[in-house]
Amino acid sequence: MQNYNQNPLPEGLKDQMITQLSQMRKQLPTPPPIGPSERKVIQTMSEIRKPFVEKSLNYGEKVSTIIPPFINIGELKMDLTAYSDYAEIVREYDLLGKKLNDLMFAAGADCFYASLAIYNSAKMAVRTGMSEAKPIVADLKVLFEKETPVEEETTSTTIK
């Protein structure tokens, strides 16, 4: 057995983390309901486009005559600050997510290799005439050969 997972969660940490993450999620404002099709057509800022937005704001503040009447420079500043704040949180969230995914992957690999060994051992027991292993192999075979369901795209990515 590989034994990839060397770091089980300390007692109580899972519940503590879930509570804290839930509290943080509830503190954030509700995002607008932007569906997958809208996300394909709406242009948005990224870290690569951020200097463009910052420089546009800077020029708009210096030369106010270039600002179209439908643009509120105060709102642009507020949105840029919000973007920067969310981006900083997302970077930390991504690091946490990667770490959790790596830990889950390691634990999952250990679980699957051990379970596969049990399944193969049960199949060997059937071959040697152990009748008690037949229903075990039949049950595990269905689960082992089962296809992973494909997740359907949700109609909206808004999470409250």
Question: Which pLDDT belongs to residue 148?
Answer: 61
- The stretch 47-76 carries a mean pLDDT of 96
Tell me the average pLDDT across 42-47.
Answer: 92
Q: What would the two tokens of residue 6 be?
A: 């060397």
Look at residue 160 and tell me whether its pLDDT is greater than 70: no
Residue 97 has pLDDT above 50, yes or no: yes
Q: What is the mean pLDDT of residues 136-146?
A: 91
Who wins on pLDDT, 113 or 147? 113
The answer to whether 4 touches 122, Cβ cutoff 8 Å, is no
Name the 3-class secondary structure at 81: helix
Rounded to two decimals, what is the model's pTM? 0.72
Q: Among residues of the chain, what percentage have pLDDT more than 70?
A: 90
